[in-house]
Amino acid sequence: MSSESNSLKQVALQKFKKNFWGVFSCCIIVFVGIISVFAYVLAPDNSQYANQMHLPIHSKKPGFSVTMLTIPSQMESHQSRFNKIFFGNKNSATEIPISSYSISSHTLTYKEYASDGLDGVEKTLSLSVFPSGTVENYLNKKTFLFGTDKYGRDLLSRVLVGARISFFIGFVAVFISLIIGIFMGSAAGYFGDKIDAFIMWIINVTWSIPTLLLVIAITLALGKGFWQVFIAVGLTMWVEVARVVRGQIISAKEMQYVTAARALGFNDFRIITKHILPNIMAPVIVISAANFASAILIESGLSFLGIGAQPPMASWGAMIKDHYNYIILGKAYLAIIPGLCIMGLVMAFMLVGNALRDALDVKG
């Protein structure tokens, strides 16, 4: 229908589609989103948090490959398939990197992998450990595309699983900030007077404490952990949303459609939610995209300081923290890969924010 294509949303969408970087960034975000949801399916190491350590092959170069002996776990697994896909395999087999092996009728003799030209320990294992007689199935060549970290974990898997936290914190923090921000902002803007003065005071107080320090204080109060960081970041970012909503509502309040709604006898709640808010969503959307980016930055910063996600959970910031000392040892990629990931994702959100701003015609 022709009338539909003229709606504001359609126009904005058309404008957005013309912005190459905006669309490109959108694709990146969707791509990272899919990765973070299906991280354990895509990752070579599907143990929980991609935490399969092989100390003998720690911090190896990207593309390193080794023969890996997999000794199946003796414990019964009660994990459902669904659970395995989304939370990783909690009960994984033991993996031993080996340099050579020989098979006799009942035993398997293998030499453990040792780096720097050292000789590995030779060990023998009864073949009965392996369920079906074919030992060769448990001896595989394993390649580490991004190399291994300082505990010998697969860096690629850690990066994939780490995408989750960055992506997730953006959602949770933006969600919390939107709820509080819209509520506070519209109350202040719509009712004015004492409520406005009081809410502006809260806004000023929160605004005066630098975001990073406030988040640190809140995480200290709530305890370490990634949920606490989610909440803390959300609790600091609502201020910007509230300021924008308040400003918009103050000017929208004088519009005729609000007067009309008042004349019809609608209550305040209905006027705000049904009439004003849909009209002022554009700047809020733009701010949310920016908040998404800064939430990712703050989380990585906190993880870098060690007060974000706790090990063994994989987080990009924590990965940089673990490995930035290796940078002068010629293993810069250990810190640079997660760093580039953070940068890429943040940049994608910023570009989407810019594209949205142009498409929705928001000033500032």
Partner 1 sequence: MLTLFGVVSVIFFLFNVLPGDPAQMMLGQNEDSAQLAIVKQKYGFDKPVSTQYFYYLNDLSPISLHSKNTGDYTYLRPGKYSAIKLFAIGNTTLVLKFPYLRESFTKQGKKVSAVLAETLPNTFVLAVSAIVIAMLLGIFLGIISALFKDRWLDKTIQIFSTFGMSVPSFFSAILFAWFFGFILHKYTHLEMTGSLYELDDYGESNHLKLKNLLLPAIVLGIRPLAVVIQLMRNSLLEVFNQDYIRTARAKGLSEFQIIKRHAVKNALNPVVTAISGWFASMLAGAVFVEYIFGWNGLGKEIVNALNTLDLPVIMGSVLVIALLFIIINIFVDIIYVWLDPKVKLQ
**Distance between CA 194 and CA 362 in Å, rounded?**
30
For partner 1 (CB under 8 A), the number of binding residues is 42
* Least distance CB 157 / partner 1 (angstroms): 21
Q: Which of 209, 269, 273, 361 binds partner 1 (CB under 8 A)?
A: 209
Tell me which of 66, 187, 346, 360 binds partner 1, using CB under 8 A.
346
Cα–Cα distance measured from residue 237 to residue 215, given in angstroms and rounded to the nearest whole number: 10
Using rule CB under 8 A, residue 179 touches partner 1: no
Using CB under 8 A as the binding rule, whether residue 218 contacts partner 1 is answered as yes
C-alpha R_g of the chain: 27
Shortest gap between Cβ of 186 and partner 1 (angstroms)? Answer: 22
Alpha-carbon distance 275 to 266, whole Å?
A: 10
Q: Which stretch binds partner 1 (CB under 8 A): 61-69, 76-84, 176-184, 316-324?
A: 316-324
Site for partner 1 contains 139 (CB under 8 A): no
Q: Helix, strand, or coil here: 247? A: helix
Burial class (CB in 10 A: 0-12, 13-18, 19+), 67: middle
**CB of 13: closest distance to partner 1 in angstroms?**
22
Residue 160 to residue 34: CA distance in whole angstroms:
10
Report the SS3 class of residue 98: strand
Q: Which of 46, 157, 211, 248 binds partner 1 (CB under 8 A)?
A: 211
Nearer to partner 1, 80 or 204 (CB): 204
Q: What is the DSSP letter of 51?
A: -
Residue 101: strand, helix, or coil: strand
Euclidean distance between CA atoms 320 and 309, whole angstroms: 13
Q: Does 362 bind partner 1 (CB under 8 A)?
A: no
Where do contacts with partner 1 occur on this chain (CB under 8 A)?
Answer: 201-202, 204-206, 208-214, 216-218, 220-221, 223, 293, 297, 300-301, 304-307, 317, 320, 324, 327-328, 332, 335-336, 339, 342-343, 346-347, 350-351, 354
